[in-house]
Amino acid sequence: MTRTKISIALENLNAREFVIKGEVTNEDEYNSNVRWVVADDNGQAVFGTKPDDMPSWTAVKTEMDKLWVT
């Protein structure tokens, strides 16, 4: 499995239970291409909206920029 820049940034920011579909280079792509695993009313794992305690695009972008500073 290849780790992408965004997956490393999310992990560095203590994000958990997410799936990345496609590229993520801006806030719109972050909101549409990062899927969050959450529990439904029955406690089953489903894809849902970003939980409030997960990092914002601004925080993720800042972390991504730090990863490849030369």
Amino acid present at 29: E
Instruction: Give residue limits of the domains in the chain.
Output: 5-63
Q: Taking the model in full, what pTM does it have?
A: 0.85
Distances (CA, A) of 29 to 11, 23, 40, 65: 18, 7, 24, 17
- One digit per residue, the tens of pLDDT, for the chain of length 70 reads 568 899 999 999 999 899 999 999 999 999 999 999 999 999 999 999 899 999 999 999 999 999 876 5
